[in-house]
Amino acid sequence: MIGAARDIWTRLLRMRAAVLALGLTLCATPATTQTLAELAAQAQQAAQNVATAQIALEQSKTAKDRVRALTDTIGSFEQGLAVLRDSLRNVTTQKTSLQTRLDTQEDTYARLLGVLLTIDKTPVQTQILHPDGPLTTARSSMLVADVIPALRSRVDTLRAEMETLVYLNDLQAQIFQDLTDGLSQLQIARSELTRAITDRTDLPQRFTADPKQTEILLAASDTLAIFAQGLDMIAVDMAQTSLPSILDRKGTLALPAPGRIIRYFNEPDAAGIARPGIILATQAQAIVTSPTAATIRYRGPLLDYGLVTILEPQTGVLFVIAGLDQVYGDIGQVVPAGSPIGMMGGNSQTIDAILDQSGENTGTIRSETLYIEVRQDQKPQNPTEWFRIGE
C-alpha cells in the first residue's frame, strides 16, 4: 500500500514539476515591446498633415498660389503616406509576430491543461497525504503554491496580448483607410498640378531661346559638357541681370526630390561608367522641384540622359537634373525656389502593392532614379557639397 502511494506521489511530483516548468516558460515569453501609441500617433499626424495641406489648397485663388499650394499638398501627401506605409508595415509585423507566438504556445497550453486535468483526477486524500510524512506533504504544497501565481500571471499576460491583437487589427484598418484616401487624392493633386502649371503665365522671362539653334546644338553635342557650353550661344534677348548669388547657401540647398543617394560623385556604375554627378533614388511619380530660384536654360531630351531640365541659379552655375518623366516650365522662365520643374516616372503605388510589401515585411518600394549634376564655370562640382544630404 505504501509502495503504491509512493508511486502515485512520484507521478504527482513529476506532473507538478512539469506544470511549474511550463508556467515559468510561458511567463518568460516577452509581450509586444514596440510602443503602439507611437504608431497610432504617427498615423494620426500624417493624416492631419494631409488634411491641413488640402485646406491650403482649397483657399488658393491665383494660378501661382494654386501651384504653390498643390506642390505643398503633394509634398505633404508623400511624407504622410511614407509614414502611413511604415506604420502599416510595423503594425502588420507586430500582428504576425504576436499571432505566431500565440500559435506556438497553443501546444504548450494544451500540455499544461492535460497535466492539470490529470492532477485534478487524483484522489484528494492521495494528494494531501504523502507516504514520507508531513514534511514532504508541506514541500509538495509549496510547489503547487509556486505554480498557481505563475499561471495566473500568464493568463493575465495572454489576455493583454489578445487585447493588443484586437487593437492592432483596428489600427491596421484605420491606416488602410487613410492610405486608400491619401493615394486617391494624391493622384488628383498631381493631375491638377499639371493643369495649373500649364495655365500659369505670370512667370518672368530672363531670355528666350531659338528652337532651331537648340536643335542644331543638340545634334552637334556628343557630351553634356559640350551642350552646357553652347547654351549661352543660343540665347536671344538675354537679360543682363542675374539672380542673387547662392554661394552663401552652398551646402544647404534642398535636393530636387526626397530620396537617398545610391551613387556618388564620380562613382562608377555597374557598367563601369563614372559620371560627375549623383544618382538619387526617389519614389515613383515624385514631384521634382527647383532647389532655389533659377532660370530654366533647357528642358527636353538630351543624349542618353532622358528628359532633362537645366537650371541656372546664377551666372556661371548650372544644375543638370535628368531622368524625369515629365518636365514643366518654358525655356527662359525664372522659377521660384520649390517650384515644380518635373515629375518622376513609374506607376503610383497601389494599396494592394503596399499590403503585399507589408505582408512580406520587406519595406521595399520600387523607386525611380534622378541624376543630378552641378557645373560652375563649366567645371563639374560635387553635388553633395551643394545640397543638404541625409534629411
User: Domains along the chain?
Assistant: 2-199 (no CATH), 208-385 (2.70.70.10)
Which three three-digit cell numbers place residue 147?
Answer: 505554480
Instruction: Name residue 9's beta-bridge partners.
Output: none
Residue with cell 508541506: 138
Q: Residue 62 in 3-state DSSP?
A: coil
Dihedral of alpha carbons 89, 391, 296, 185, sign: positive
Residue 227 C-beta-side C-alpha neighbours within 13 Å: 23
CA distance 104 to 80: 36
CA distance 250 to 266: 20
Closest listed residue to residue 299, CA positions, set 311, 287, 288, 289: 311
Compute CA distances 359 → 93, 178, 228, 286, whole Å.
8, 18, 47, 25
* Degrees to nearest 5, angle at CA 386 with 384 and 391: 65
CA distance 342 to 286: 9
Question: Crossing angle for the helix pair 63-121 and 351-360, nearest 10 degrees?
Answer: 40
The 10 Å Cβ neighbour count of residue 223 is 9
Quote the pLDDT of residue 15: 43
* Low-confidence residues of the chain: pLDDT under 70: 1-37, 39-40, 43, 47, 50, 102, 104-159, 162, 165, 168, 172, 240-241, 348-366, 391
Quote the pLDDT of residue 374: 96
Which three three-digit cell numbers place residue 205?
Answer: 522671362
Dihedral of alpha carbons 333, 335, 339, 343, sign: positive
On whether the CB atoms of residues 321 and 371 are closer than 8 A, the answer is yes
Beta strands in 219-358 (DSSP E): 235-236, 260-263, 278-283, 287-289, 294-301, 307-314, 317-324, 326-327, 334-335, 340-343
The 10 Å Cβ neighbour count of residue 221 is 16
Quote the pLDDT of residue 107: 64
* Degrees to nearest 5, angle at CA 170 with 45 and 172: 60
Q: Residue 193 in 3-state DSSP?
A: helix
Residue with cell 545640397: 387
Instruction: Name residue 343's beta-bridge partners.
Output: 287, 326
CA distance 208 to 297: 9
Beta strands in 16-165 (DSSP E): none
Which three three-digit cell numbers place residue 295?
Answer: 532660370
Quote the pLDDT of residue 312: 94
